[in-house]
Amino acid sequence: MADEKNIKEETGELGSTGNFIHSYIQADLGEKLCRLNTRFPPEPNGYLHIGHAKSICLNFGLAKMYGGKCNLRFDDTNPSKEDTEYVESIKEDVKWLGFDWEDRLYFASSYFDTYYDIAIKLIKEGKAFVCDLNAEEMREYRGTLSTPGKNSPYRDRTVDENLDLFQRMKAGEFADGSRTLRAKIDMTSPNINMRDPVIYRIAHAKHHTTGNKWCIYPMYDFAHPIEDAVEGITHSICTMEFEDHRPLYDWVVANSGLKAKPRQIEFARLGITNTVMSKRKLRALVEDNLVDGWDDPRMPTISGLRRRGVTPEAIRDFCERIGVSKANSKVDSSLLDYCIRDDLKEKTKVVMAVLNPLKVIIDNYPEGQIEFLTIENNPENENLGTREIPFGRELYIERDDFMEEPVKKFFRLAPDKEVRLKGAYFVKCVDFVKDENGNVTEVHCTYDPETKSGSGFEGRKVKGTLHWVNAETAVKAEARLYDSMMLDNPDDSSGDMIMNPNSLEICECFIEPSIKEAKKGERFQFMRNGYFCVDTKDSKDGAQVFNRIVALKSSFKPAK
């Protein structure tokens, strides 16, 4: 393959197709690489988050771009934390994002016999030994970044002794943590990963695919490069924390007897402001019941984003926009919000919903009369058509759309002020009613029947247009307004996992009756309030629950 020194991989420097990874692949293809084969290798110990979405899009996207294949492989070598629930959720997420592994679904556990045979081979060649040091002693012997390690007192055991002990480990004779199998490499190496790393440990735990067949399990750094080699992976795309592990992966493959040698290319992990990007921390939120499961709409998990109403197109667009580099950085969460809005703005119906209702009574409108008004479903997409909505004497408007003593440049409803009701008429405030606490409970208006929308009225002008719903026919629902789950940046070294107390606001709302038959997962724009989705999981006393996908306003400006 191409010499890495000939390819610049500085932060952000692009290859001719897009990013530095393409430079490697193009060079390899130029050297008659017969095909491209990548893989997405999640560990099934939790639900995937949006950082994994970046890796999914990258690996499957590269394979598609270069006419290759991408495998889905579960790195299930740690039975104590893995479960079939996570396997199924990961498969669902990958499919939902729009990718297909076809017939290439693999499990690391399928290769347990292969790992064992290679371990035996290493022992016979004097390249692996059984060590009795416990975890604390092993840390002491390993040394530091500035000081070399020292050999284990068990490093010079004979081949026969190591074979006997390892086979007895496999037979279940020893307790967890009492012995390990270690590669015999170099305890003075400047790369700590090469200082006789553990390649097998004892774990009397039931595995989700192999049951109780095994009580020894390979370490990730031993199993992972073997899996890539067995599957014929040509390019192993992974995040930067594995860069220092690359020499160990090369050593494992070189000494395994396998012919294939994947090229490993590292890129920076995705970081997003005010967002937890650690599976371990996300698991803690779930286990401590601080969220409504892995699919809580506040969670950055793919299932949480899906439940909130985010589309796969928006996530793919976000992953494309952030790009790939070697430098660690943090993306502003407002970019994801922008991508969501950009995707939804022309594909969703715009409906009227009042989240903080205030009753309006039109005194001169006939009691008991209902008329139907025609309103466009989306001003930016006429192909979505129109709908009929009922108008009557009593309405709801947003409480913020009325002010008893209006401030300067307040163009909404106020005493003796006139506004247009969307798709309907001009109304003028003539009075209002307060309760014993001084809160406004009703606003009384008059309407001008000559000002009906679409009638060609060209008289006086008004600056404000308000959305509204008819009080008699409105559908009562629950709206859940989501904000950033964290107040800090919890994946920073100083991150404290401080949850935002205002990350969820629940309110009773009234919505025009056109949404009465909306299906779970269906998306709408609530005029002036944001994009919302019918929750796929909950209902409130039989009423619909709407999750706010994203608010309408953003300070983010995309690059031109």
DSSP label at residue 385: -
Sign of CA dihedral 44, 49, 55, 60: positive
3-state secondary structure 522-560: CEEEECCCEEEEECCCCCECCECEEEEEECCCCCCCCCC
CA atoms in the 13 A half-sphere facing the CB of 204: 10
Q: Are 40 and 71 in contact (CB under 8 A)?
A: yes
**302: Cα separation from own chain's centroid:** 4
Q: What is the largest CA-CA distance in the chain?
A: 101
DSSP H helices in 19-83: 20-30, 50-65
E-strand stretches of 323-364: 349-351, 353-354, 357-362
The token duo for 541 is 């006393």
326 is catalytic: no
Q: Of residues 201, 279, 349, 393, which has the active-site annotation?
A: 279
Q: Are 70 and 104 in contact (CB under 8 A)?
A: yes
The token duo for 41 is 């290798």
Name the phi and psi angles at 459, rounded to 5.
Answer: -80, -135
Cα 95-97-99 angle, rounded to 5 deg: 55
43 is catalytic: yes
**Amino acid in position 176:** D
Distance between CA atoms of 361 and 46, rounded to whole angstroms?
53
DSSP label at residue 390: E
Strand bridging mode 504-511 / 475-482: antiparallel
Q: Are 275 and 297 in contact (CB under 8 A)?
A: no
Q: Are 323 and 358 in contact (CB under 8 A)?
A: no
Distance between CA atoms of 386 and 274, rounded to whole angstroms?
39
Strand bridging mode 263-267 / 235-239: parallel
279 is catalytic: yes
Q: Is 58 exposed, middle or buried (0-12, 13-18, 19+ CB in 10 A)?
A: buried
Q: Of residues 81, 269, 359, 452, which has the active-site annotation?
A: 269
Residues with catalytic annotation?
A: 43, 269, 279
